[in-house]
């Protein structure tokens, strides 16, 4: 997809996918929608997510991020800019009080091809993890395993997730503070088995924009705290830290996110990604008057 995407106000008003029916006619919303489409397309292009003629399993939780992902991907496909088939999928993990009919009814009404899968991973997690303990890690592993299985059954080449820019940044700091490594959620990843890609087309999208978009569209949001997730989780703590930095210095999140795209292995400390021992100086470049001990270079 080499051509730039330019959407005029007329483009945004006509021939829209049913997922956009009822969209506000305000200038502010048009700008938001156009920005989301541009940022998603930029991420898809930059990280080479498209293989023409393949099928994507678009994973939906019912939260603001997954609704935004679903709508923008269908917008791109609607305009002939995303040459893949899209299959929406919700994995009902058996959480108490989960509104099981919300997503099926919504997807049916919108005419979106979908698969709803029920797997009671909640009971497994509660059996393995004691009360008050962090359950997100095990829950995520079980969910990922089921999504990989569904993708294979449906002939999909990629599992597509709704993680946005802020999720990626928060994960980086969680790994930094608690995992002792420089790593985060990559926009595109090949799974361990080597047969499926994991893609995150919202990689450049701010969480606040997902919130504004889903609220403006009045999508039926399903809360993410049905499992009783603890407020003291590491991710929540990191989010509060980043919120504080952003409040004191607006734009800080985007600056830090850009840093993740500008890594310099030679200026870090990992000898597995940079050959420090192999560094050699050019002959004759040593100073005839080396600095004295304690003198700064």
What are the CA-CA distances from residue 66 to residues 54, 95, 196, 242 (Å)?
A: 21, 18, 20, 22
Please name the helix (run of DSSP H) or strand (run of DSSP E) that holds residue 167, with its range, or none: helix 165-174
- What pLDDT sits at residue 292? 59
Q: How far apart are CA 278 and CA 274, in angstroms?
A: 9
Q: Is residue 291 part of a domain?
A: no
- What pLDDT sits at residue 15? 60
Instruction: Look at the chain and report how many structural domains it folds into.
Output: 1
Name the token pair of 264.
């310099």
Q: Is residue 134 part of a domain?
A: yes
Q: Does the global pTM surpass 0.75?
A: yes
Do residues 79 and 37 make contact, with C-beta atoms less than 8 angstroms apart?
Answer: no
**Could you report the average pLDDT of every consecutive run of 10 residues in the chain (297 residues)?**
44 66 92 96 97 96 96 94 97 85 95 93 75 68 91 98 96 92 96 96 97 96 65 78 95 96 95 95 69 56
227 annotated among ligand-binding-site residues: yes
Could you tell me what percentage of the chain is helix, strand and coil, using 3-state DSSP and rounding each to the nearest 5?
45, 10, 45
136 annotated among ligand-binding-site residues: yes
59 annotated among ligand-binding-site residues: no
Cα angle 29-30-33, degrees, rounded to a multiple of 5: 85
73 Cβ contact list (under 8 Å, min separation 6): 40, 56, 58, 82, 86, 160, 201
Q: Is residue 180 part of a domain?
A: yes
Q: Is residue 282 part of a domain?
A: no
6 Cβ contact list (under 8 Å, min separation 6): none
- What pLDDT sits at residue 1? 43
Q: What is the DSSP string of 100-141?
A: TTHHHHHHHHHT--EEEEE--HHHHHHHHS-TTS--HHHHHH
Q: Is residue 270 part of a domain?
A: no
CATH number for the domain spanning 207: value is 3.40.50.620
Range of the domain at 124: 23-262
Q: Is residue 181 part of a domain?
A: yes
Q: Is residue 281 part of a domain?
A: no
Q: Is residue 161 part of a domain?
A: yes
- What pLDDT sits at residue 190? 97
Q: How far apart are CA 41 and CA 7, in angstroms?
A: 13
């Amino acid at each position: 997809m080499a051509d730039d995407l330019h959407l005029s106000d007329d483009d945004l008003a006509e021939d829209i996918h049913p997922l956009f029916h009822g969209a506000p006619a305000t200038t502010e919303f048009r700008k938001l929608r156009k920005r989301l489409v541009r940022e998603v397309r930029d991420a898809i292009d930059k990280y080479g997510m498209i293989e023409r003629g393949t099928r994507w399993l678009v994973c939906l939780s019912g939260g603001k991020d997954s609704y935004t992902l679903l709508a923008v991907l269908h917008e791109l496909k609607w305009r002939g800019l995303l040459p893949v088939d899209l299959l929406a999928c919700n994995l009902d993990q058996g959480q108490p009080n989960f509104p099981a009919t919300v997503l099926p009814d919504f997807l049916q009404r919108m005419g979106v091809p979908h698969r709803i899968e029920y797997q009671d991973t909640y009971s497994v997690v509660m059996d393995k993890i004691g009360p008050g303990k962090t359950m997100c890690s095990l829950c995520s592993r079980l969910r990922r395993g089921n999504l990989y299985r569904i993708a294979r059954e449906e002939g999909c080449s990629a599992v597509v997730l709704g993680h946005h820019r802020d999720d990626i940044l928060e994960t980086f700091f969680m790994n930094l503070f608690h995992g002792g490594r420089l790593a985060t959620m990559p926009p595109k990843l090949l799974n361990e088995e080597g047969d499926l890609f994991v893609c995150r087309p919202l990689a450049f999208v701010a969480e606040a924009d997902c919130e504004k978009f889903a609220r403006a569209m009045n999508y039926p949001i399903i809360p993410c705290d049905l499992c009783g997730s603890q407020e003291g989780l590491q991710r929540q703590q990191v989010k509060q830290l980043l919120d504080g930095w952003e409040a004191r210095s607006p734009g800080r999140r985007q600056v830090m996110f850009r840093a993740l795209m500008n890594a310099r292995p030679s200026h870090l400390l990992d000898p597995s990604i940079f050959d420090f021992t192999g560094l050699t100086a050019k002959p004759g470049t040593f100073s005839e008057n080396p600095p004295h001990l304690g003198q700064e270079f």
